Structure formats: structure tokens, C-alpha cells
Amino acid sequence: MSAVIELLEKMGADSSLNNAEAFDAAIAQSELSVELKNALVNKNVTALERQLDVCPDTVCMLIPAEDDDGSEESDAKEE
Amino acid sequence: MSGSLVCVGIGMKLGAHISPISRSHIEQADVVFSGVSDGIVELWLKEMHPDVRSLQMYYAEGKNRNITYNEMVEAMLAEVRAGKNVVGAFYGHPGVFALAPHKSIQQAKLEGFEAYMEPGISAEDCLVADLGIDPGKFGCQQYEASQFMFYKRRLDPSAYLILWQIGVAGDKTLGKFNSDKNKLALLVGLLANDYPSDHQVILYEAAVLPIDMVRAEHIALADLPNAELHQHTTLVIPPAKPMEKNQQLLEQIRRLDEQAQLAPCSA
Ligand SMILES: C[S@@+](CC[C@H](N)C(=O)[O-])C[C@H]1O[C@@H](n2cnc3c(N)ncnc32)[C@H](O)[C@@H]1O
């Protein structure tokens, strides 16, 4: 697993990293590049995205206001 | 018939919310489709499986999202029909305000394939924890923000109101990625029937990366059109008036209780 993703996963999963000191220590102890460490310590998401070369504009909308099969009305009629 | 589809939720926060069963489905799939809200979360999924295909490519500004969602369904079903064990990994809960997971499962079942959903921790679940709100305290209504504008609803201002996808409220084209002040002003006007304009509402954004800060910004309802809204912002409107007693029903209940006391043995 990529070291930075592994560390992020650990930060999400390990409650002992919930305090600032342990969080910073985990970053310091990692084998990551200085740039990545800085991005994590400063909680700089933009810098992290840039380092990892991911698109910052991910679309998260998963539902339409109105379905194209007209289910808004048909669902109600079924009842 | 070989070929199956499982849509799983991976929760909101990277590393924190994924359930053992969702992770296992992802790891054991033949192919994984990813519908997540963050590029780094997508990298995380790619660490779990060598063949993760992003559903992001189906979005485009100006393209009606109903087309996008149908393409997502078709992409997943094509692999199911080819006999693969397919997993759709969606952020949050795959069945909460999400069309493609429901639709693809329905269609796969219709075609005779095994298909089901594994729940996940949704934005609403995070909101309950971060804002200290219990949807059961006063009740809670929730709508997709544009749908709330397009259809007449019976609003109860003594309950919580949650509006999802507030960032694209009022977009009839289903092709916009950004908010529109004029449409938001219309929404504020609609809500003004039930809420005072200085009513405090909350702009909520859950943490997705472990380094993210939660956003819980309180603003006056009237300031909504000028607020900074993102695709991932959820609007929470706390109750504006106390719950009103239903005296008529309470009276009927009182009478029933009285009758039961008079005839304690009857059913
Ligand atoms: C189509 S819904 C998908 C919800 C998702 N299935 C879930 O379980 O939370 C997209 C909307 O969810 C909400 N949402 C998504 N990410 C969020 C976040 N990080 N914080 C708060 N709300 C979020 C926003 O209202 C957004 O417009």
C-alpha cells in the first residue's frame, strides 16, 4: 500500500491518533517525503491533492431532483 | 446464472467507517466501480483492489445527470452480464440519496442476477454525531433541495429539515456543478412561509479525510444565497416553533384509556 494512503487509513482507524501529539508523531515517524509530511501536519488538503496528483474537483452528486423514468408519480400510485 | 452485483457503502471518512463486510466485498470482487466524493478516497479504494474503475468519467458540466446515472448503471451491468462478480463502492451509504446503486440492483435482479446492498455510514449519520442532533427528538424531514423546490410539500417547522445537494438547489437542467444565488433566493422565499428570515441554519460538511475539519457554520436563513456552498454541503434547519399538541387525538386516547379502565379484562 502506498505509504501516505496507509498512514491516512491508520489516522482514520486508530483512535490513539485522535490527539494532536500522537498525530504529529505518527507523521514524523513515517517515511514520507518532507512535502507530504508538511501537507499532513498542516492539514493542507490542497497540497496533499497536488502531491498525489488527484483531481480536486470530484463530483459527489448521486441523485436527481427528478428521475427520467417518471418514478416520482408512479411510485406513489403503486401504493 | 453467474454474475452478481453488490453495492457497498464505504462511509464518509477514509479509514474510519468502512465495515468489514464492505471491505471484504471490495477485496473479493472481480471488478470494482467507484462512486466516491474524493480523489484520495479513490486512491485508497485502488489499494484494496487492482481493478477499480471510477464512475467519475460519466459526469460532465452541462450534461443532464440522469444520463450520467444511467451510464453508471449500464457500466456496472455490462460486467455483471459478462459473468463477473461486480462491486459498486459508493461513499457514505449507497442507498441514501443515490440513484445508480438502487437502479442497478433493481435491474440486475430483473435480469435474474444476484444483487443486493450493504449499508454504510451516511452524511446524515455524521451530521447526527457532529451537530449533536437527534432526528427522533422533534422528528426530521429531509429532501433533495431541488426536489423540495419543484414539488409542493407539507413542511413541518417544528421538526428538523435537512436539504441535501443544497449546492445545486433549483437546477432544473441537472447539469450544473455550482450554486445559483437567484435560485437560492427563491428557496429562501419558499422557506420564509415557515421560518423567520433570521432563523439560524447550519451549513454542514463532514470530514472525509482524517485531516479534514468538520464544517458546522451557523448563518441566518436570509444569508443563504451569499453563503459559500459546495456540492458536499448539507443544509440543516433546526425547528423554528414548538411542537403543537394534537388535542383532538389526545382526547380520543384519553377516552380509550378510560374505557379500558372501566372494562379491564376486555381486549
Ligand atoms: C447524492 S447525496 C449522496 C449522499 C451519500 N449517499 C451519503 O450516504 O451520505 C450528495 C449529498 O450528500 C451530502 N454530502 C455529501 N458529502 C458530504 C459531506 N462530506 N458532508 C456533508 N454532507 C455531504 C450533500 O448534501 C451532498 O450534496
Q: What pLDDT, on a 0 to 100 scale, did the predictor assign at position B265? A: 65
Q: Looking at the predicted structure, is the pLDDT value of residue A78 above 50?
A: no
Q: 3-state DSSP call for residue B40?
A: helix
- Which one of A9, A59, A72 has the shortest CB-CB distance to B56? A59
Give the residue carrying C-alpha cell 471484504.
B24
Q: Sheet containing B114-118: which strands, arranged edge to edge?
A: B52-54, B31-35, B85-90, B4-9, B114-118
Distances (CA, A) of B93 to A11, A53, B90, B242, B262: 21, 27, 7, 31, 50
Cα distance between the two ends of chain B: 51
A56 band by pLDDT with thresholds 50, 70 and 90 = confident
Helix axes A3-13, A45-52, angle to 10 degrees: 140
Residue ranges, chain B, pLDDT below 70: 264-267
For residue A20, give the chain B residue with the closest CA. B211
Q: Looking at the predicted structure, is the pLDDT value of residue A72 above 70?
A: no
φ, ψ at B84 (rounded to 5°)? -85, 155
The span from the CA of B96 to the CA of A69, in Å, is: 19
C-alpha cell at B57: 468519467
Distances (CA, A) of B19 to A6, B10, B95, B248: 17, 7, 15, 46
Instruction: Give me the helices (H) in chain B, please.
Output: 20-28, 39-48, 65-81, 99-110, 123-131, 135-138, 145-150, 181-191, 247-262
Of B262, B191, B263, B249, nearest to B221 (Cα)? B191
Q: Which of residues 158-217 of B touch A (CB under 8 A)?
A: 164-165, 168, 171-172, 174, 177, 209-213
B32, B45 Cβ separation under 8 angstroms: yes
Q: Which of B69, B160, B195, B204 is catalytic?
A: B69
Q: What pLDDT, on a 0 to 100 scale, did the predictor assign at position B214? A: 98
Q: 3-state DSSP call for residue B127?
A: helix
Spacing, Cα B223 to ligand 1 middle (Å): 22
B233, B164 Cβ separation under 8 angstroms: no
Q: Which domain holds residue A46?
A: 1-79
Global pTM reads: 0.95
Q: What pLDDT, on a 0 to 100 scale, did the predictor assign at position B150? A: 97
The span from the CA of A65 to the CA of A63, in Å, is: 7
* Active-site annotation holds for B160: no
ipTM of the complex in this document: 0.90
The per-residue pLDDT for range A2-54, each reduced to its tens digit, is 999 999 999 999 999 989 899 999 999 999 999 999 999 999 999 999 999 99
The span from the CA of B155 to the CA of B237, in Å, is: 12
C-alpha cell at B102: 438502487
Query: Which is it for strands B234-237 and B160-164: parallel, antiparallel or unpaired?
Result: antiparallel
Q: What pLDDT, on a 0 to 100 scale, did the predictor assign at position B263? A: 83
Q: Looking at the predicted structure, is the pLDDT value of residue A70 above 90?
A: no
* Active-site annotation holds for B65: yes
At CA A15, angle to CA A13 and CA A9, rounded to 5?
A: 20
Of B95, B123, B104, nearest to B212 (Cα)? B123
From atom 14 of ligand 1, which residue's Cα is the shortest distance away?
B232
* Whether A62 and B150 lie within 8 Å, measured CB to CB: no
* DSSP designation for B114: E
**Residue A27 backbone class (left: φ over 0; alpha: ψ -120 to 50; beta: rest):** alpha
Element (H, E) at B144: strand B140-144
Domain count along chain A:
1
